[in-house]
């Protein structure tokens, strides 16, 4: 005996749909889903050049190595953290 797939319900809002998919498996609805192309764009970044004391740079690189991330990423993370602190003032 074959089981009939469920019908995807109509949703009143995106929030209602999100709750539904959090609580339900997509498997029974698989044949009803449409293939869509998603284009995700990364936020644009601008390259800058800054001069750092070699001792500071060496210490930053050591911290980054311990964290397993590139030192440039660590510097960017720290700058963003400080910016968020300043915005909170």
pLDDT at 3 over 70: no
Q: What is the mean pLDDT of residues 37-53?
A: 91
pLDDT at position 88 is 87
d(CA 48, CA 62): 22
Report pTM. 0.53
pLDDT at position 5 is 63
Count CB neighbours of 47 within 10 A.
4
Domains of the chain, residue spans: 54-88
- Give pLDDT tens digits for 56-65: 999 999 999 9
Instruction: With cut-offs at 50, 70 and 90, classify the pLDDT of residue 4.
Output: low
- Give pLDDT tens digits for 19-39: 999 999 989 888 888 899 988
Residue 64 buriedness (CB in 10 A; 0-12 / 13-18 / 19+): middle
């Amino acid at each position: 005996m074959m089981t009939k797939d469920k019908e995807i319900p109509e949703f009143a809002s995106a929030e209602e749909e999100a709750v539904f998919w959090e609580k339900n498996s997509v498997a029974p609805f698989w044949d009803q889903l449409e293939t869509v192309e998603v284009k995700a764009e990364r936020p644009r970044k601008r390259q800058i050049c800054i001069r750092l004391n070699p001792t500071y740079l060496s210490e930053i690189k050591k911290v980054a190595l311990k964290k397993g991330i590139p030192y440039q990423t660590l510097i960017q993370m720290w700058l963003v953290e400080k910016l968020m602190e300043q915005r909170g003032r």
